[in-house]
């Protein structure tokens, strides 16, 4: 479904955005009849609250929309977007808003409130449409909403319809749309081209769901940026089989790939002067006679050996080969995104995306951008003393250190052994478990909008 603004029209109904702390001031600026109507109706400007203003013949003449108080706005994102589903069919335009209102966030939230995943059944979207508010970059907001919809659609699609081959097809479709080049190394060719760990993790799947490394390249000028996304299309845990409760959401284990594709989509749609490279190791961690085993020792692309102490810690293995490839031709910045560890969820919960950065300046720029665009992130450290935890007795590295301590950090340290020097890593959840305005239950983008906003500083 298109997530776009309505064309400007002089017939658009006015929306007046109001905040509780300036409610009386806002009402005083309205015609007396409208202000009296609002007071009589008890309009309090709660987040997403709507009050239709009566016009001639009973038709609405406009609406008041609540932004919520400062406490509510600090605790949530896109809260006013809930107004869209409470408005009747029609075209609306922002007529006024309190000083300091972030109209870009309001407009993006409005579009994202219209997202529905409709591959398997129809779902009615809100019928109220919005003219892009004055002063916002409408094209950028629409492209952002389209990219987020791509992320959500990819994650929401069940693994039966989003295996490695289907993920490759999605990358090829995105590449064709924007004139990018896409190539894939599949099955036994992974061994011929020296991607042994991608092959090992994915070799137990059927031939139709064979492992592969997908590569998209785009752009001929500007700094080089490499994005690496974990594309585990379903994760049984391998021979260290997950319990049913832990396997239930594993269609989202390719959420890292989906998120880097969202970022790539926006970079290409907006014509950024960037030489973009996207690497996605796409596998299904299945169970068969050919599954890789606990205590196996694998040799990665860069020659490091890895002892397998848990086959359910497979994401870092496939990422390692892709990062090793990236390190052979280092970009100005390399970023990996992955639904990697439960430890990250224990530390920060589902809504806050932890990230790691090789330089303080990268972290500072990203954190500032995240606050600007309402895409929360939080830095965790590449804590050097924990390096010994990922070093077993018989190989260079351990894919699943014993003890369970600092699981997200040790995973990040593992990946850093393969990555280029200038590197950032995101350990995301990729899922909204509780519905909120503009964020329905299901697949979710995390961190990629903040990265896009920070690109000038990250690549400068």
Q: Report the residue count for the chain.
A: 460
- Sorted by sequence, the CB contacts under 8 Å of residue 416 that are 6+ apart come out as 356, 358, 382, 423, 425
Cα-to-chain-centroid distance, residue 430: 6
Choose the catalytic residue: 316, 345, 416, 439. Answer: 316
Helices (H) and strands (E) in the chain, counts: 16, 19
SS3 at position 333: strand
In the chain, what's the furthest Cα-to-Cα distance?
82
Of 85, 116, 172, 242, which residue is the catalytic one?
Answer: 242
* Strand partners for 334: 226, 423
- 8-state DSSP, 126: P
Are the C-beta atoms of residues 453 and 371 closer than 8 Å to each other? no
Nearest partner of 280 among 301, 300, 260, judged by Cα:
260
Element (H, E) at 397: strand 397-398
Beta strands in 410-451 (DSSP E): 423-427, 431-432, 442-443
Burial class from Cβ neighbours inside 10 Å (0-12, 13-18, 19+) for residue 115 reads: buried
Structure-token pair, residue 56? 């001639």
HSE of 189, CA atoms in CB hemisphere, 13 A:
10
Catalytic residue at 32? Answer: no
Q: How far apart are CA 343 and CA 128, in angstroms?
A: 41
The yes-or-no answer on residue 46 being catalytic is no
Which residues are part of the catalytic machinery?
242, 316
């Amino acid at each position: 479904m298109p997530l776009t603004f309505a064309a400007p029209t002089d017939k658009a109904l006015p929306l007046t955005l109001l905040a509780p702390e300036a409610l009386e001031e806002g009402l005083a600026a309205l015609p007396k009849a409208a202000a009296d109507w609002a007071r009589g109706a008890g309009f309090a400007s709660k987040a997403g609250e709507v009050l239709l203003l009566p016009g001639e013949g009973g038709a609405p003449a406009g609406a008041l929309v609540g932004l919520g108080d400062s406490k509510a706005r600090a605790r949530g994102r896109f809260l006013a977007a809930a107004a869209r589903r409470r408005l009747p069919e029609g075209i609306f335009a922002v007529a006024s808003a309190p000083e300091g209102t972030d109209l870009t966030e309001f407009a993006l939230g409005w579009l994202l409130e219209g997202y529905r995943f409709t591959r398997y059944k129809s779902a009615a979207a809100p019928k109220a449409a919005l003219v892009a508010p004055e002063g916002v970059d409408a094209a950028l907001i629409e492209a952002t909403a389209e990219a987020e919809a791509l992320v959500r659609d990819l994650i929401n699609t069940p693994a039966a319809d989003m295996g490695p081959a289907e993920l490759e097809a999605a990358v090829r479709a995105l590449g064709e749309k924007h004139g990018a080049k896409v190539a894939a190394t599949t099955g036994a060719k992974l061994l011929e081209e020296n991607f042994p760990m991608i092959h090992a993790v994915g070799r137990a799947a059927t031939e139709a769901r064979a492992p592969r490394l997908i590569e998209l390249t785009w752009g001929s000028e500007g700094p080089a940026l490499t994005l690496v996304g974990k594309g585990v299309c379903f994760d049984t845990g391998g021979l260290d089989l997950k319990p049913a409760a832990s396997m239930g959401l594993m269609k989202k284990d390719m959420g890292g790939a989906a998120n880097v594709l969202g970022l790539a989509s926006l970079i290409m749609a907006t014509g950024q002067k960037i030489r973009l490279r996207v690497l996605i190791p796409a596998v299904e961690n299945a169970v068969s006679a050919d599954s890789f085993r606990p205590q196996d020792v694998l040799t990665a692309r860069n020659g490091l050996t890895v002892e397998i102490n848990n086959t359910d810690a497979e994401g870092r293995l496939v990422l390692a080969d892709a990062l090793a490839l990236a390190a052979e031709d280092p970009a100005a910045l390399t970023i990996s995104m992955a639904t990697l560890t439960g430890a990250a969820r224990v530390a920060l919960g589902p809504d806050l995306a932890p990230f790691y950065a090789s330089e303080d300046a990268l972290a500072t720029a990203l954190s500032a951008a995240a606050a600007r665009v309402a895409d929360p992130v939080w830095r965790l450290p590449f804590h050097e003393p924990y390096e010994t935890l990922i070093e077993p007795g018989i190989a260079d590295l351990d894919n699943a250190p014993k003890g369970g301590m600092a699981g997200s950090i040790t995973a990040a340290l593992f990946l850093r052994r393969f990555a280029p020097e200038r590197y950032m890593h995101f350990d995301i959840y990729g899922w909204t478990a509780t519905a909120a305005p503009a964020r329905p239950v299901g697949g979710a983008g995390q961190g990629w909008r903040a990265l896009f906003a920070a690109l000038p500083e990250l690549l400068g």
